[in-house]
Amino acid sequence: MSAVTALRGGRIFDPAQGRAGDGADLFFADGRIISAPHGSPAARDIDVSGKVVMAGGIDMHSHIAGGKVNIARSLMIADQRENPDARAGGLRSGGLRSGGGRAGPTTFTTGYRYAELGYTAVFEPAMVPANARHAHAELADTPMIDKGCYVMLGNDDCFLRLLARGAAASELADYVAWMMRATQAIAVKVVNPGGISAFKFNGRSLHFDDPSPFYEITPRRIVTALATALRDLGVVHPLHIHANDLGLPGNVETTLATIAAADGLPIHLTHLQFHSYGTEGDRRFSSAAARIAEAVNRSRHVSVDIGQVMFGQTVTASGDTMSQYRNRRFASPKKWVCMDIECDGGCGLVPFRYRDQNFVNALQWAIGLELFLLIEDPWRVFLTTDHPNGAPFTTYPHLIRLLMDKGFRDSMLATIHPEAAAASTLGSIRREYSLDEIAIITRAGPARILGLADRGHLGAGAAADITVLADDPDREAMFSRPALVFKDGTQVVRDGRVIASVQGGTHVTEPAYDRAIESRIDSFFAENLTVRAGNFRISDDQVAESGPRFAHPCAGSALA
């Protein structure tokens, strides 16, 4: 064993091990947490007494790489100019690289800024199959953090044709497994089920039980078929669903119908805030957070992330061309991009400025917080802003303070559009998140829902991904500037600044499939598309060339 490092006297918040702030020493060596070593003293003792010690943060839904993120960077030229990230000395000192951006940060800046917030793993949730090679190439240039991607299925013509001709569940599962492996994905996401395809046929809306243009398949069928395939394959992360009708007043009914349609099949509802809208009040836009939270609370097969909105400039980046085309009129600044992609999917980019004096934006902010506070089981809710859609990820410390500090939350509530504040129950909600609960929604929970057995906790054998925080009663200040961050045992951050560049790994899932599907997929590509299947498929070597490739077993759903 090589040199042991000891973190002495910290208060350890490790929910996976049932530790909530007890004082203890933490040891690691060779990049792994170890039990207290016998005999010989640690080679390196670091006094962290009184400080809070957590595993490295895991962001399970953040758009950080791939074609649409690059289009976002291109559109958001002011975001680059106003947020330069000059890393003094560049390659001359410590190997850091310059970059910039806040809503659309460059790859290097993304890695550094996440590390500086104590995060050590981030998952790109919307990888279009045709763009998978690009997404992985970009993530290879994203330092500091582990990565992984959710491949977008359910609007791809190959899958829709299988479904339309009544393919057996086993064939659908084989296709899903082949796609996950070909694109080196850890999970599967469906975006506006059927809606992206419908938009290509000039469909401008597709509700949950509407037959889609051409295929005449309902979103309900797509959701249940994909969720069934993932359950059958034993993929740990449930189907990651960006539901139909995003952003539309009244979409609470779609969201509740999606939960009901799963009928016990594990599902994950992403950026739930954007799917929790009612139609009450003079403005026909209201919070349905209470109804949604109640449904989530009683549905053990459902996990969610919130997609919290924060006020300020950002850019919305989504695979949901139907919604993004509809939202173009809200673009600020007035520019937007929509793209149809490769009989696979699409993407839409709409710059957006959330304003606290805008009734709708203010209520969106309140709805997200209501959901955080009304959903009872912290193991099934994850902290996200759907970066950059609700807000850049750099707002996380502020969000944590909103969750942990009712006085602060109420003071912010008093500053938003007064009618939105009046329309929200937020002021009456007393709950404050504890540090233990923050560790769950930012560490232990995301690791569990993704099947990362050796991440998100501090038990012996776990990766030494560790964040040490000064216990500041101002939780925003506390989480803005970790005292220390270790990635795989290497100290990478001191006092909130990156001091060393490291390269993380890529997490993938390797579901098994009947190889009979391969020749059918080869033919589909050769006859209908403009890339051969053999050139579409990403080799293990490409993913492994920049850092380790972590292949996870199909151990069964995290929510089973």
- In angstroms, the CA 449 to CA 442 distance is 11
460 lies in the site for another protein, by CB under 8 A: no
Is residue 533 helix, strand or coil? helix
Q: Verify cis geometry, omega within 30 degrees of 0, for the bond prior to 388.
A: yes
- In angstroms, the CA 535 to CA 532 distance is 5
138 lies in the site for another protein, by CB under 8 A: yes
Shorter beta-carbon distance to another protein: residue 30 or 545: 545
Handedness of CA 394, 400, 401, 407 (dihedral sign): positive
Shorter beta-carbon distance to another protein: residue 2 or 93: 93
User: 114-133: which residues touch another protein (CB under 8 A)?
Assistant: 128, 130-131, 133
User: 326-365: which residues touch another protein (CB under 8 A)?
Assistant: 331, 334-344, 349
User: 144-163: which residues touch another protein (CB under 8 A)?
Assistant: 157, 161
Shorter beta-carbon distance to another protein: residue 257 or 331: 331
| CB 418 to another protein: min, Å | 34
Taking CB under 8 A as the criterion, the residue among 70, 251, 273, 395 binding another protein is 70
User: Side chain identity at 287, as an amino acid letter?
Assistant: S
Contact call for residues 347 and 218 (beta carbons, < 8 A): no
Shorter beta-carbon distance to another protein: residue 49 or 74: 74
Taking CB under 8 A as the criterion, the residue among 5, 62, 80, 276 binding another protein is 80
Is residue 205 helix, strand or coil? coil
| CB 423 to another protein: min, Å | 33
Shorter beta-carbon distance to another protein: residue 144 or 423: 144
Which residues lie below 8 Å from residue 232, measured CB to CB, with a gap of 6+?
Answer: 169, 170, 173
| CB 50 to another protein: min, Å | 36
Angle at 151 between CA 149 and CA 154, to 5 degrees: 160
Half-sphere exposure of 266 (CA within 13 A, CB side): 24
Taking CB under 8 A as the criterion, the residue among 12, 46, 54, 75 binding another protein is 75
| CB 24 to another protein: min, Å | 38
Q: How many residues does the chain have?
A: 560
Residue with tokens 């051409």: 214
Handedness of CA 249, 253, 259, 261 (dihedral sign): negative
Total binding residues toward another protein, as defined by CB under 8 A? 69
Phi–psi pair at 301, nearest 5 degrees = -90, 5
Taking CB under 8 A as the criterion, the residue among 5, 62, 107, 273 binding another protein is 107
Shorter beta-carbon distance to another protein: residue 227 or 343: 343
Shorter beta-carbon distance to another protein: residue 92 or 515: 92
Shorter beta-carbon distance to another protein: residue 335 or 494: 335
Contact call for residues 463 and 455 (beta carbons, < 8 A): yes
- In angstroms, the CA 144 to CA 492 distance is 8
User: Side chain identity at 78, as an amino acid letter?
Assistant: A
DSSP notation for 130-191: GGHHHHHHHHHT--SSEEEEEEE-SS-HHHHHHHHTT--HHHHHHHHHHHHHHTT-SEEEEE
37 lies in the site for another protein, by CB under 8 A: no
Contact call for residues 287 and 293 (beta carbons, < 8 A): no
| CB 557 to another protein: min, Å | 31
Q: At what angle do helices 157-164 and 169-182 cross, to 10 degrees?
A: 170
67 lies in the site for another protein, by CB under 8 A: yes
Considering only the stretches 31-39, 197-205, 354-362, 406-414, report the one whose residues sit in contact with another protein under the rule CB under 8 A.
Answer: 197-205
Is residue 38 helix, strand or coil? coil
Considering only the stretches 7-15, 143-151, 470-478, 523-531, report the one whose residues sit in contact with another protein under the rule CB under 8 A.
Answer: 523-531
202 lies in the site for another protein, by CB under 8 A: yes
Shorter beta-carbon distance to another protein: residue 151 or 227: 151
Q: How far is CA 219 from the centre of its chain?
A: 22
Taking CB under 8 A as the criterion, the residue among 32, 325, 356, 432 binding another protein is 325
Q: Give Cα separations from 497 to 84, 111, 504, 533 (angstroms).
A: 15, 12, 18, 43
- In angstroms, the CA 19 to CA 210 distance is 48
User: 526-555: which residues touch another protein (CB under 8 A)?
Assistant: 526, 528-532, 534-535, 538-539, 542
86 lies in the site for another protein, by CB under 8 A: yes
Half-sphere exposure of 247 (CA within 13 A, CB side): 19
Residue 137 has a CB neighbour count (10 Å cut-off) of 17
- In angstroms, the CA 437 to CA 435 distance is 5
100 lies in the site for another protein, by CB under 8 A: yes
Taking CB under 8 A as the criterion, the residue among 90, 264, 418, 459 binding another protein is 90
User: Side chain identity at 210, as an amino acid letter?
Assistant: D
Taking CB under 8 A as the criterion, the residue among 23, 37, 95, 459 binding another protein is 95
Shorter beta-carbon distance to another protein: residue 6 or 222: 222
134 lies in the site for another protein, by CB under 8 A: yes
Considering only the stretches 95-103, 284-292, 369-377, 493-501, report the one whose residues sit in contact with another protein under the rule CB under 8 A.
Answer: 95-103
Q: Which residues contact another protein by CB under 8 A? A: 65, 67, 69-70, 73-75, 77, 80-81, 84-86, 88, 90-93, 95, 97-101, 104-108, 128, 130-131, 133-134, 137-138, 141, 157, 161, 199-202, 214, 325, 331, 334-344, 349, 526, 528-532, 534-535, 538-539, 542
